Amino acid sequence: MANDLSMKERLALGRVHMPELDAAIRSRNFEEVNRGLGMEEAVREAKRCIQCKHRPCVEGCPVGVSIPEFLDALAAENLPEAARILQGDNALPAVCGRVCPQETQCEAKCVRGVKGEPVAIGYLERFVADWAMANREKLAKTELPPSTGKKVAVVGCGPAGLTAAGELARSGHGVTIFEALHDTGGVLRYGIPEFRLPKEIIDVEVSRLVEMGVEIECNVIVGKTLTLGQLREEFDAVFIANGAGLPTMLNIPGENLKGVYSANEFLTRVNLMEAGRNPNAPTPIIAGRQVAVIGGGNTAMDCVRTARRLGAERAMIVYRRGETEMPARVEEIKHAKEEGVEFVMLTAPLEIVGTEDGWVAALRCQRMELGPPDDSGRRKPVPVEGSDFDLPAEVVVNAVGTRANPLLTATAPALELNRWGNIVADEDGATSIPGVFAGGDMVRGGATVILAMGDGKRAAAAIGKHLA
């Protein structure tokens, strides 16, 4: 046992705090909010782990990271070993350490959480992954087996596609990723802002795959530039991981006014094209003084916090339920509040009101109250008659959700879809077409990074069997 503390001493240790950039400063720049732990704090936190024999935290992790083992190595200050264990189980640990909802996964199952606070597994994952990125020369290179001569095409360069590509390359298969955008990472790059996930982390994680021989072809839209049929002719198997990036419309009057954005368009302009951040960026963005973001999930939080950083004096979340029903991570809500974001709760949009020349002037809203629970188990919002009011705004961002994009599937009629247009796949990712697998948001609808990665990992194993 690497931990030099007695059980009593371990149990007496309190949970570490993540240092954060001051809210007044960070709400006006795109620097990362969470600053990361130092070595001493990380080792001390790892020593809080009591090395449970039944490893409940591992069950809570969708990719089954060997949590007690990497924490034990960290407690013994053996960073190369901790990194080896972590990277062996998780293709994108520096990403997951930053964006995974650990509070509902591994940390929710942590035994230390029963009578106190769980071990800060996410912070420690981030610490070890960042150490590994800064100390690549101290880590053993991934040994690749001889080539199998088989070729696999991966559609989409988000977390599902990247994970599958890494697993397949590690098994000796040739892998080519086809990505519609001009850069890699999927939502990790174009959706999640830099103040939560710096872009260089994605660059490093992607470069690890390229070093393993994975080829990445950007600017290729499967369904337009190439068809699934062509990929099937050229490759021995295909993994489809093209996400769910099509915005759900609000279907209220005024959606076509100037100053209305879908969340994905708003975030892509800022994150991928540097609109509003770089004066030389060719892509513009309307940075309103008053910005209303409709929705209550992580995407809505990213939009509203981005709007604040672009200079909005009033950056508002408009959500039809209450704060306890919001699907966003608790940490995101806390950070948004500290940064001056206003929460207009129990409020639903009715119309976007425009000026005579077609610009957004206000969001017409109606107050709601909570009724009995609906199908989702959350209390249903019920309109309060006669409670309409106008919220002044120059920009309205629709962050109520996204759906599967039909570009690829429209050109592949043999692919079975569900009624929402998502590809139907079994537990291993196998679809209705032999040799074609699918995973991530394209199968699940909007989910999480780690679930998409889990799909990529399982599908890669199934593709390996298929090729054998």
| Residue ranges in contact with ligand SF4 by CB under 6 A | 49-52, 55-57, 67-68, 110-112, 119, 121
- Rank residues 71 and 300 by Cβ distance to ligand SF4 and give the closer one: 71
From 187, 184, 35, 64, select the one nearest 123 (Cα to Cα): 35
How far, in Å, CA of 402 to CA of 446, rounded? 7
Kind plus residue range of the DSSP H or E element containing 450: helix 449-467
Question: 2 contacts which partner out of ligand SF4, ligand FAD, none, CB within 5 to 8 A by kind?
Answer: none
Q: How far is CA 411 from CA 163, 222, 240, 440, 465, in A?
A: 25, 9, 13, 20, 27
Q: Is the Cβ of residue 10 or residue 378 nearer to ligand SF4 in the bound state?
A: 10
Q: Whose Cβ is closer to ligand FAD: residue 85's or residue 165's?
A: 165
Minimum distance from residue 257 beta carbon to ligand FAD (Å): 23
Q: Choosing among ligand SF4, ligand FAD, none, which partner's interface includes residue 156 (Cβ < 5 to 8 Å by kind)?
A: ligand FAD
Residue 110: name its binding partner from ligand FAD, ligand SF4, none (Cβ under 5 to 8 Å by kind): ligand SF4
Between CA 409 and CA 224 the distance in angstroms is 11
Residue 56 contact partner, candidates ligand SF4, ligand FAD, none, CB within 5 to 8 A by sort of partner: ligand SF4
Which listed option, ligand SF4, ligand FAD, none, makes contact with residue 153 (CB within 5 to 8 Å by class)? none
Residue closer to ligand SF4 (CB basis): 54 or 419: 54
Residue ranges in contact with ligand FAD by CB under 6 A = 99-100, 155-161, 178-181, 186-187, 191-192, 221-223, 241-243, 245, 267, 298-299, 302, 405, 407-408, 440-442, 446-450, 452
Q: What is the nearest approach in angstroms of ligand FAD to the Cβ of residue 190? A: 7
- C-alpha–C-alpha distance, residues 232 and 153, integer Å: 8
CB of 135 to ligand SF4, least distance (A): 24
- Residue 197: name its binding partner from ligand FAD, ligand SF4, none (Cβ under 5 to 8 Å by kind): none
Using the 8-state DSSP alphabet, how is residue 272 labeled?
T
CB of 387 to ligand FAD, least distance (A): 30
398 binds, among ligand SF4, ligand FAD, none (CB under 5 to 8 A by kind): none
Residue 55 beta carbon to ligand SF4: minimum distance, rounded to whole angstroms: 6
User: With respect to ligand FAD, which residue has the nearer C-beta, 73 or 267?
Assistant: 267
Cβ at position 276, least distance to ligand FAD in Å: 16
Q: List the one residue out of 219, 217, 222, 274 whose CA is nearest residue 243.
A: 222
DSSP lists the bridge partners of residue 403 as: 246
Residue for token digits 């972590």? Answer: 86
- The answer to whether the beta carbons of residues 26 and 339 sit under 8 Å apart is yes
- Min dist. Cβ of residue 30 to ligand FAD (A): 14
Give CA angle at 175 (241, 227), nearest 5°.
Answer: 55
CB of 456 to ligand SF4, least distance (A): 24
| 386, burial (CB in 10 Å: exposed 0-12, middle 13-18, buried 19+) | exposed
Q: In 10 A of CB 324, how many CB atoms?
A: 9
- Of 444, 308, 383, the C-alpha closest to 30 is 308
Q: How far apart are CA 344 and CA 158, in angstroms?
A: 32
